[in-house]
Amino acid sequence: MTNLTHFRTPLRHTPFHPRTASANRLNRWGPWAGCMTSLCYGDVDMEYTAIRNAASVYDLCPMVKYRVTGPDAADYLNRLMIRNAAKLPVGGVHYTAWCDDDGKLLDDGTLFRHGPEDYLICCQERHLPWLLDSAQGFDVQVAEITEEIAALSLQGPCSASVLAAAGLDVSALKPFRMARFPFAGGEITISRTGFTGDLGYELWMTPDQALPFWDHLFAAGAPWGIRPIGTDALDLARIEAGFIITNMDFVPAHQALREDRPRSPLEMGLGWMIDWEKGNFTGRRALLAEKAQGSEWALVGLDVPGNVSAEGSILYHDKKHEAGFVTAAAWSPALKASVAIAQVKARHAGGDNLWVEIYALRELQYVKLMLPVRVVERPFYNPARRRAMPPERV
């Protein structure tokens, strides 16, 4: 029987909620996968500054997590995803995506390989029925374990130093690798991954370890100005890094109401991930046809004049003909520039004679701005410390 009162059910608290709630002076919360997540604790500028200049902590618990195990785990994931899961070494992590039969994106996420037959998928949206249907004929077990894992993202130039002070030496941990470390009689897993485009780590543990680890980490990180951050500051950092988000920069194919809204990996700048030689995978035939014929859309980075965010704005060719739209934009404190991520018709991806129409709020009145934009490479912000080995200790 359908639950007609589900809307009355409160959002769940993450295992870190007692600490995040006490730190959230603004009491600003938003929903994420059925959980309460902090949007801003007190000052978004200070939280952003912690990401780029100190050490920041973000509660990752709501991220949806699926465990895939069994003798056919690698083959199943290869049939499912556009990258080659069999090539991912044990202890490795990679960014990947998956499509429907029409080659349109369902979601993107990270894939962790904990063992020869043991993988973890982390993503934005829930896909369990589709994952189970796709497992037919494979000797695999697929289970959602979102609430079995507590996770934090520790990002910023001081993140390695904070972990060292906490007794967790990550100096040998390379980007997109993970390792286990002892903590309080148990173990936690640390991966050198993140969503800020900076030096950073993601910390994975059991829910019962969450509060003791939070307290331990913040005590160790105090000399480096460690600070919890909300989604607002994280979104600014991910725009600078040129990262895309499901349901913000593209609509998942299975959620789209209009046939022209879904996008393919080729249209979203993810063609570099596709392993064409690994054999058949969902959407391969459609993607091969698109590759041969050319894509209708392209994802581009934009340099926008001035300091007004272009988010949600329409793009024009020659100021007359609609050419695309901006999905994410911000004034970048690190770059001292206004940057944007946009979808444009593929024929305009070079940026020739491309303009953006912005409505800027100026003392209660909106002023229309028509500004020339320049197509630029992503990421907009890409510090060397992001991949430095060993990581910088400051």
pLDDT value of residue 1: 43
Annotated binding site for substrate: 202
Q: What is the mean pLDDT of the chain?
A: 96
CATH number of the domain enclosing 106: 3.30.70.1400
Asked whether residue 354 is assigned to any structural domain, the reply reads: yes
How many percent of the chain have pLDDT more than 70? 98
The rounded distance, in Å, linking the Cα atoms of 310 and 166 is 41
The verdict on 315 and 189 lying in the same domain is no
Asked whether residue 323 is assigned to any structural domain, the reply reads: yes
- pTM of the shown model: 0.94
Helices (H), the chain: 17-23, 44-53, 73-80, 128-134, 159-165, 210-221, 231-241, 284-293
pLDDT value of residue 6: 59
For 360-393, the pLDDT digits (tens) are: 988 999 999 999 999 999 999 999 999 999 998 8
For 52-66, the pLDDT digits (tens) are: 999 999 999 999 999
CATH number of the domain enclosing 325: 2.40.30.110
For 208-239, the pLDDT digits (tens) are: 999 999 999 999 999 999 999 999 999 999 99
Domain count, the chain: 3
The rounded distance, in Å, linking the Cα atoms of 230 and 252 is 24
* Residue type (1 letter), 292: A
Annotated binding site: 202
310-315: average pLDDT:
96
175-188: average pLDDT:
97
- Structural domain containing residue 308: 297-376
CATH number of the domain enclosing 183: 3.30.1360.120
Asked whether residue 288 is assigned to any structural domain, the reply reads: no
For 71-97, the pLDDT digits (tens) are: 999 999 999 999 999 999 999 999 999
Phi first, then psi: give them for residue 373, nearest 5 degrees. Answer: -120, 160
First-last CA distance in the chain: 57
